[in-house]
Structures are given as structure tokens and as C-alpha cells.
Structure 1
């Protein structure tokens, strides 16, 4: 589904944030020492700690914050982080309704690309919680498979998104939740977010929604009326066939991703249980931004790299 990183790619990624083994071991030990004093958090391997440290530029306090937030929202939003069995009828229906998949190759600057496209114009086929659930599962799967993660690029193909009934799902509550989850609760740097085949209705809605995002994130949003806009940033060959590339057809890439999740069914279900146990928390949380509990919050608090 995704091509393994070459030795040269991995070396280049590591060199973006060089660190000696002694420094890496010391940073892991700092986070591990903190985790050992957090009985409410699940066990986390040194490998995951290292990946998070690298992705967050070895800022140990930021890693602690993200770990706390990530495991907390999994308990707060069971509709998103619960029932992660990819073989259920509900999950399969969403796979048929929305194409979601990573591209096999990284971008030239070594970002992992996640793609999205509605398979139907039927507004009733879209489910917000299922959308976020699959997005989280796919992202976690990529994070697990890639030795290191440098940054992510999102590409939304809006070919089948041209009615107000469809865009009504993307209300402010939904978008704030998306921002909170992706910008405060995951060790990921979102480099760019592309919207292609943007219709007038889509552009109006997106321009309204983006005002609720921080300015630095808004600057990463790129609207294009056609796929030609992507060629300015990435080699065409890395895209799906429908976008002029050679990566395979969108429907095939979507199905391949689903097959990989099914093969990883036990791992997916295991992820359900890796969440905070509030009954074991010692004192009040001094790390988690409590605004993740709902949809409100001051988005100026969000940190960017």
C-alpha cells in the first residue's frame, strides 16, 4: 500500500533534526520517567516515544502534552475512537461512500500524502464520526508503518461535493473537532492542505470555515479549480490515475487501504483500549487543554511548527 522508505530517504529525514544516540536515549528517558508517574495513561513503547519525539523536534514537554491529549480524547470521543473493527457493516458502508487512502510514494520533500474523495453525491452516505474514525485509523496505520514521520499533506478531491446538503455536514462544530484532534492531539506536522476541483459552493463554504482556524494553518490551505494546481507542488506520476498519475485508480487505492486495515484487525481493535483511565489519574490534569472536551476553545493556543 505504501512503499517502504529507502535508506537514503530515512537518512534525509533523520538529518532534518539531527540528534546523537545519547541525546535520543536521554530524551526517551525523560518522557519514560514522566509516563511512569502517570498511572492513568496506557503503556507506550520506546519506539513510539522516539517517533513522537522526532516528529515534534525532540521537545519533551510538547511530547508529554500530545500524549496526554491523544489518550484523553480517545476516551472523550468514543464515537470516533471506539469500535475500530474494520470488518463491521458500518465501516464497510463508509469505505464505499468515501475514498480515503495514503499515496504509495512520499513527496520529494518526504511528506506522507493522505487523499480523500466522496464516492457518491448522496449526502446521506456521509457520517462525520465514521469519517474521523477512518482518518484516525489510516493515520495511525501509516505512523506505525513508517519508521519516522516528517510531515503530512492532505489532498481533498471535491469532484462529488457540489451541493449544500453535502456541505451541511461540515459545520463549525465538526471543523473545530477536526482541528483540535489533528493540531493538538497527534504528533504530526500538517504541511499543506489542498482542495482540488473546488466548485463555487465549496469555495464559499471553505472560506467561511477557514476563519475559525489559526492564521498559520489558513496559510497552508490551497484551493485549486482543477488537478493542474497540484502539479506546481508535486510530481504528477505519484498521483492516482484519475489525477493524471500512475499510482493506480482511486477506487483500487481505497480498497487496498481497507484490505490492509482488515489484515491488521487485531491491531485496530487493540488500539481501542489504548486510552486514558481517568479513575487512575492522580490529581487534576495540568497538561491537557480542557477545551478538547468540547468544540469551543481559543484556537490561538494551538502550536505550530
Structure 2
């Protein structure tokens, strides 16, 4: 319990630091004391010079080179993709270079087909700020007994008119990337989706085609291995929304879904010490507190999001260029 309290105190220091930074017009991430920048359990707030997963990169040096060789002539995966990104994708594929290459090709093809999700990824955009006003999204500091990381998503503001489906999905993916980039690599993730306050208007019929593609990306080629998905506070509305989305889910996902009518029931399935009190656990801290920390982590990755997008946009632009090779037309011989 003492260790858990120390973790909560660290998060509170992060929250106070980021709030003061937002209030000051010229403040920067460097104003946060170095001692408060990271924790062995919470995602770290990255500095510009940070190289994520340095130890894993060193251990997988030869595998990373092999992946790069296999991608030399790929039309969509940028040649200057970082070692950190490659090792993150390797982690998703059990460090199998062939699977990693296939995974990367699928991921970047999907990114090109979903520009609404993978361009304009600015954590300071008004829509990004609105995301944090509307939802709670948090990474809990303690892992499950299997070593999986917990990620929570729920509504802060249940008004559907404030819920921007595209931007919320964009920020959700950005936050997942920031968690992966800013934490130790883990074998999988446990997602906790809170149905409190949800209604069918949060899943508009007009957005189903977009949601199908976005969910496909999350299932097939995102940076996280989904091991379990817990739906808490699952009302009849949640069940109806799920019935709309179920055709888009693969078998592995549907078999990993668990529903609970009350949020505190989750503590009977997962270790209570890994869950905050809102979910029936004993973890020191709260969902709003961990959400504030994740927001800071996402914002600290602003430069990464921009550089990553610049690489992709340039590569995709080249891929879309029409071929300049003039085909040779063989004329029929005259008789």
C-alpha cells in the first residue's frame, strides 16, 4: 500500500506541474522537475531527446536490421521509420521479423486509407482539448498478474452532441501510441470500457463505415495486443451499441469480451490492488488523476506525432504519384 501511495503522489505532482504549465504562456515540459518525469509503473513524460525502448533496441539490433532489409522497397513504410517504432511492432508480433514486416505493411496501408485518423494529429488542437473534456482515458500504474497493462476509457461528459466520433477515435489511438512509446514493452493490454452515460447517439449510424475501418485497424495492426476487454456498467444501451459493432469484431476479440452491470464487479475478476476505487479496487489514486497524467504523456509526445506524420505523408504522396514510365507500344508490322 505504501508503494501505491507513492505512485499516487507522483501522479499528483505530474498533474500540478502540467496544470501550472498550461497556465503559463511560456512554460514548457522542461519546467517539470526531472525527478517527477517518470515512474517505473506509469508512462513517462518524454523529453525531446528521449529514445524509447533503448534497451530493447540494443537487444533486438540484428532483428531490426533484418526488418529494415525486408522493407527496403516497400512503397508505403518509410525508410526512416525509427528503431523505436520497429521494436514496438516487433513486440506486437512476438519478435518474429516476417510477421512484423507483414504487420507494418498492413498498418501503413490502413493509415493511408484513414487520413482522418492519421493526419493532423496535434495534441494541442481544439478538438484534442475537447477530447479530455468529454472522456476519461487512463493507464493504470500496476499491471495484471499476467503482466498486462490496464487502459480505461469512459465518459466524463455524456452529452452526445459533445462527442466527436472521429477525433475521439484519433485521440484514443494517439493515447495508446503514447502509452506504448512511454512505457516498458508489455505482452498485452487489458481494456476497461465504461458504459456509464453511453447511448446509441454515441454510435451514429452515419459513422458505422468509418468505425468499421477504425476498429479493423485496432484489431489487426495497432501497437497493442488486446488480451481482454472488460465492459463495465454495461446497460441495455451498451448491449444495443455492441450489437451494432459486433459484425466488425473478429473472433479473438469477441471471445475476449466480458460484461459487468456494475463497475465494482471487475475487482472480483482482476486483482483489486491493480484497480482504482471507482472499479472496486484498492489502488491509490483515481481515474481523473490517472487521466490527467495520460494527458500530459500525450502532450509530451507532440513532436513525435508531427515527425511521424511528416514521414508518412511524404511516403504516401510518393506512392500516389502516377508512374512517369512511358509504356512502349509495339506497333503491328506492316505487310
* TM-score tier (shorter): 0.7 to 0.9
The 1-side partners of 2:277 and 2:69 are apart by 48
In structure 2, list runs of 5 or more residues that go unmatched: 1-10, 12-37, 43-58, 323-335
Q: Which runs of 5+ in 1 are unaligned?
A: 7-20, 285-305
SS in 2 for 1:100: strand
Q: Is residue 198 of structure 1 aligned with residue 272 of structure 2?
A: no
In structure 2, what is the Cα distance between the partners aligned to 1:173 and 1:263?
A: 32
1:274-299 CA distance string (max 9 Å, x none): 32623544999xxxxxxxxxxxxxxx
Give the structure-2-normalised TM-score.
0.71
Q: RMSD across aligned C-alpha pairs, in angstroms?
A: 2.8
In structure 2, do the counterparts of structure 1 residues 220 and 40 end up closer, same or farther at CA, with 3 Å as the change threshold? closer
Seen in structure 2, the aligned counterparts of structure 1 residues 256 and 47 have a Cα distance that, compared at 3 Å, is: closer
Q: 1:288 maps to which residue?
A: none
Is residue 70 of structure 2 the alignment partner of residue 34 of structure 1?
yes
**Using the alignment, how far apart are the partners of 1:47 and 1:90 within structure 2?**
28
Count of residues paired in the alignment: 268
1:275 aligns with 2:312: yes
Conservation of the 8 A alpha-carbon contact between 2:147 and 2:188:
yes
Could you report, residue by residue, the CA deviation over 1:64-103 in whole angstroms, capped at 9, with x for unpaired residues? 1221222233332222112222112221111101111211
Report the Cα offset of residue 175 of structure 1. 3.8
Structure 1's 237 and 169: CA in aligned 2 closer, same or farther, altered over 3 A? Answer: farther
Q: Pick closer, same or farther for the CA change 1:45–1:171 going to 2, 3 Å.
A: closer
Q: Which has the larger radius of gyration?
A: 2
1:134 to 171, 192, 212: 171
Q: Do the aligned residues in 2 keep the contact of 1:103 with 1:247 (CA within 8 Å)?
A: no
Distance 1:236 1:144 in 2: 26
1:112 to 129, 134, 149: 149
1:218 match: 254
Distance in 1, matches of 2:67 and 2:129, equals 38
What is the alpha-carbon distance in structure 1 between the residues aligned to residue 187 and residue 158 of structure 2? Answer: 34
Secondary structure of 1:99 counterpart: strand
Select 1:91's aligned residue among 128, 139, 147: 128
Cα separation, 1, equivalents of 2:82 and 2:251: 35
**Cα distance, 1:233 vs structure 2:** 2.8
Q: Determine the C-alpha separation between the residues in 2 that align with 1:76 and 1:85.
A: 19
Q: Residue in 2 aligned with 1:168?
A: 204
Stretches (4+) displaced over 4 A: 281-284
1:123 touches 1:166 (CA, 8 Å); kept in 2? yes
- In the alignment, the residues of structure 1 paired with residue 114 and residue 75 of structure 2 have an alpha-carbon distance, to the nearest angstrom, of 21
- In structure 1, the partner of 2:49 is none
Checking the alignment, whether the CA contact within 8 Å between 1:98 and 1:119 is kept in structure 2 is: yes
TM-score where L is the length of structure 1: 0.78
Name the structure, 1 or 2, with higher relative contact order (CA <8 Å, separation 6+): 1
Cα pair 1:55 1:148 within 8 Å, conserved: no
Q: 1:66, 1:187 within 8 Å by CA — same for their partners in 2?
A: no
Distance in 1 (CA, whole Å) between partners of 2:71 and 2:303 is 25
* SS class of match (1:195): strand
Query: Given the alignment, which residue of 131, 138, 144 partners 1:101?
Result: 138
User: Contact 2:177 / 2:223 at 8 angstroms: preserved in 1?
Assistant: no
